[in-house]
């Protein structure tokens, strides 16, 4: 009992934990700056295809310039923080879908006669697959997964944890070339051309190994969720009214669902037609200046990409609105307006968490600590006295550690690729396999770091559905993801080693060895 009391006393709210980490970073930046900690970064000049060397030092926050930066950038950084605006806008759409009864009807139909494992597997599979749309998948799926499990008479936190595991452990697993993969591929291509100017990397270079891993990982995450984690998370008590009153789907609900599906389908067909190139008057939402289709779809200049959050939100609003009209749960404009704000009720805690998370990520980037750590780790690969499996394992481990400090794939690979690709080519390992190793390593640890912008969304929704007296502290949120990370580590490393030893193709006409 005494031990439990002590634990309760020292349990910190997530906001306090974030503030402590911020304080540690401020102090650490000052100490490292005094000792002159720095690193030499070798990046490839995309114009001249030559190495560009620069020295990066730790920027101290315990200085006039550091303090000025904290006070002058905090507000603007919070306003521009990616999860903030996207989450608020998406929640408007989710709110009307939920309050009108669309989600309750749809999810009741999906879960009533389905096995728990099947629902979880489909959710995880969708989570991994939706990595194609990038980080916005976190904003969309985490809130919806909680509602899905809630209407399925299960713990919403379990849905949040499984979804976040699918999104993070599958972050580098995609048999469809994503916009991130395309950007990484460009850096890999440049690095490979430093050694062999005639080397060409195809967009189908990863399809075989990724397809196999995609299905295997979805199955294993589901098994780990249903056979282990379901017994480890805090219990969730379903309200008595929900237990006593069994929800039944009548004529009104069916009419509302049919009307919503019809309206939603028309809306989707319009946008789908406009992202298909080559048809009459089609492709208007694409960026034609890009080469690859995925870049045309998700480039910074693409209308589809820049308006994607609003496109999804309007889709949700249409589903909720037309369901409400058909089921007569929306009878006037007042009902509609109140439904739009339903998911924003009690959002204050989430906004505060996002605010302090934005401060943490902002000041850590300013210090350059992450950049220096990743650079030093990349240099370890260049100095490795071995090749083959040990070299593959080293790159895999280094990427796992590097991701804890710099979650961004492009930011890491821009630092690492120029150093690592030439070393692996000399060791007889293809540049394509090097990128696979890198992506696999990211998948292990990105869900364990609060420096990942969307970790705070996961943390905030765990806290929202927490019924206990104690808050879901930061370490507990990481603890829930740790089994997935360990499993992903073992599985992905085994796949890399087996693929390399056997010499299986990782893509069409591409192998691990040169």
Whether the predicted pLDDT of 134 surpasses 70: yes
Query: Is 398 within 8 Å of 378 (Cβ atoms)?
Result: yes
CA dist., res. 58 & res. 37, Å (int): 6
Integer CA distances (angstroms), 66 to 150, 361, 393, in order = 45, 15, 38
Tell me whether residue 90 is in a domain: yes
The mean pLDDT of 118-135, rounded to a whole number, is: 90
SS3 171: coil
pTM here?
Answer: 0.92
Tell me whether residue 38 is in a domain: no
Tokens matching residue 327: 């089921």
The mean pLDDT of 356-380, rounded to a whole number, is: 94
Whether the predicted pLDDT of 7 surpasses 50: no
**Residue scoring higher pLDDT (283 or 150):** 150
What domain range is 463 assigned to? Answer: 83-348+367-502
**Strands 38-44, 51-57: pairing kind:** antiparallel
Average pLDDT along the chain: 88
SS3 370: helix
Contacts with 40 (C-beta within 8 Å, 6 or more apart), sequence order: 53, 54, 55, 56, 375
Tell me whether residue 239 is in a domain: yes
The mean pLDDT of 178-182, rounded to a whole number, is: 83
What pLDDT score does 468 carry?
67
Contacts with 234 (C-beta within 8 Å, 6 or more apart), sequence order: 157, 466, 467, 468
Tell me whether residue 25 is in a domain: no
The mean pLDDT of 223-244, rounded to a whole number, is: 76
What pLDDT score does 50 carry?
66
Assign 428 a pLDDT band (cuts: 50, 70, 90): very high
What pLDDT score does 45 carry?
62
Assign 13 a pLDDT band (cuts: 50, 70, 90): confident
Q: Phi and psi for 290 in degrees, rounded to 5?
A: -90, 160
**Residue scoring higher pLDDT (44 or 359):** 359
What pLDDT score does 243 carry?
47
pLDDT-wise least confident of 96-110, 250-264, 466-480: 466-480
SS3 83: helix
Digit-coded pLDDT (tens) for 50-78:
667 888 899 999 999 999 999 999 999 99
Whether the predicted pLDDT of 430 surpasses 90: yes
SS3 332: coil
Integer CA distances (angstroms), 461 to 200, 491, 501, in order = 44, 28, 43
CB atoms within 10 A of CB 241: 7
Tell me whether residue 454 is in a domain: yes
Q: Which residue has the tokens 């494992």?
A: 117
Digit-coded pLDDT (tens) for 451-469:
999 999 999 999 888 876 6
pLDDT-wise least confident of 45-49, 63-67, 201-205, 235-239: 45-49
**Residue scoring higher pLDDT (66 or 340):** 66
Digit-coded pLDDT (tens) for 400-410:
999 999 999 99
Query: Is 412 within 8 Å of 400 (Cβ atoms)?
Result: no
CA dist., res. 437 & res. 512, Å (int): 10
The mean pLDDT of 87-93, rounded to a whole number, is: 91
Tell me whether residue 45 is in a domain: no
Tokens matching residue 386: 């071995």
pLDDT-wise least confident of 50-59, 209-218, 424-433, 486-495: 50-59
Q: Which residue has the tokens 């919806």?
A: 144
What pLDDT score does 47 carry?
57
Contacts with 433 (C-beta within 8 Å, 6 or more apart), sequence order: 424, 499, 500, 506, 510, 511, 512, 513
pLDDT-wise least confident of 177-186, 239-248, 253-262: 239-248
The mean pLDDT of 130-153, rounded to a whole number, is: 90
Whether the predicted pLDDT of 241 surpasses 60: no
What pLDDT score does 469 carry?
65
Overall domain count for the chain: 1
Query: Is 406 within 8 Å of 446 (Cβ atoms)?
Result: no
What pLDDT score does 244 carry?
44
**Residue scoring higher pLDDT (246 or 119):** 119
Tell me whether residue 236 is in a domain: yes
Whether the predicted pLDDT of 38 surpasses 70: yes
**Residue scoring higher pLDDT (221 or 309):** 221
Tell me whether residue 76 is in a domain: no
Digit-coded pLDDT (tens) for 261-313:
999 999 999 888 888 887 787 777 777 777 777 777 777 677 777 788 888 99
């Amino acid at each position: 009992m005494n031990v439990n009391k002590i634990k309760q006393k020292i349990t910190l709210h997530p906001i306090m934990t974030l503030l402590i980490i911020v304080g540690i970073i401020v102090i650490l930046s000052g100490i490292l700056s005094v000792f002159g900690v720095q690193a030499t970064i070798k990046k490839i000049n995309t114009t001249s295809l030559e190495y560009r060397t620069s020295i990066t030092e730790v920027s101290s926050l315990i200085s006039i310039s550091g303090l000025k930066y904290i006070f002058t950038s905090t507000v603007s950084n919070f306003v521009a923080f990616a999860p903030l605006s996207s989450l608020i806008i998406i929640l408007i759409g989710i709110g009307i879908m939920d309050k009108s009864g669309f989600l309750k009807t749809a999810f009741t139909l999906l879960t009533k006669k389905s096995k728990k494992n099947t629902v979880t597997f489909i959710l995880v599979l969708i989570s991994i697959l939706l990595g194609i749309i990038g980080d916005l998948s976190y904003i969309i799926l985490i809130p919806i997964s909680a509602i899905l499990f809630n209407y399925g008479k299960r713990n919403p936190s379990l849905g949040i944890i499984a979804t976040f595991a699918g999104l993070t452990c599958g972050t580098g697993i995609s048999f469809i070339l994503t916009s991130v993969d395309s950007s990484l591929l460009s850096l890999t291509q440049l690095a490979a051309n430093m050694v062999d100017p005639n080397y060409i990397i195809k967009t189908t270079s990863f399809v075989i190994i990724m397809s196999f891993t995609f299905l295997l990982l979805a199955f294993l995450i589901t098994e780990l969720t249903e056979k282990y984690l379901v017994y480890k998370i805090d219990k969730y008590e379903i309200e008595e009214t929900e237990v006593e009153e069994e929800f039944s789907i009548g004529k009104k609900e069916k009419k509302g669902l049919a009307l919503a599906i019809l309206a939603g389908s028309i809306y989707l067909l319009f946008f789908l037609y406009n992202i298909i190139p080559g048809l009459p008057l089609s492709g208007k939402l694409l960026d034609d200046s890009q080469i690859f289709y995925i870049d045309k779809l998700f480039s910074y200049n693409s209308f589809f990409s820049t308006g994607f959050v609003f496109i999804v939100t309007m889709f949700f609003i249409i589903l909720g609105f037309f369901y409400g009209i058909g089921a007569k749960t929306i009878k006037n404009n007042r009902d509609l307006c109140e439904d739009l704000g339903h998911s924003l009720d009690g959002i204050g805690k989430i906004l505060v968490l996002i605010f302090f998370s934005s401060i943490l990520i902002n000041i850590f980037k300013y210090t350059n600590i992450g950049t220096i750590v990743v650079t030093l780790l990349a240099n370890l690969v260049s100095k490795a006295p071995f090749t083959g499996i040990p070299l593959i394992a080293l790159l895999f481990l280094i990427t796992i550690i590097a991701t804890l400090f710099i979650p961004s794939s492009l930011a890491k690979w821009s630092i690492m690729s120029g150093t690592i690709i030439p070393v692996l080519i000399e060791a007889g390992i293809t540049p394509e396999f090097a990128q696979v190793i890198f992506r696999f390593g990211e998948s292990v640890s990105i869900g364990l770091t609060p420096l990942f912008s969307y970790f705070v969304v996961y943390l905030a929704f765990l806290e929202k559905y927490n019924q206990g007296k104690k808050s879901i502290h930061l370490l507990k949120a990481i603890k829930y993801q740790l089994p997935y990370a360990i499993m992903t580590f073992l599985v992905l490393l085994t796949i890399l080693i087996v693929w390399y030893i056997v010499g299986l193709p990782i893509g069409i006409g591409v192998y691990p060895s040169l």
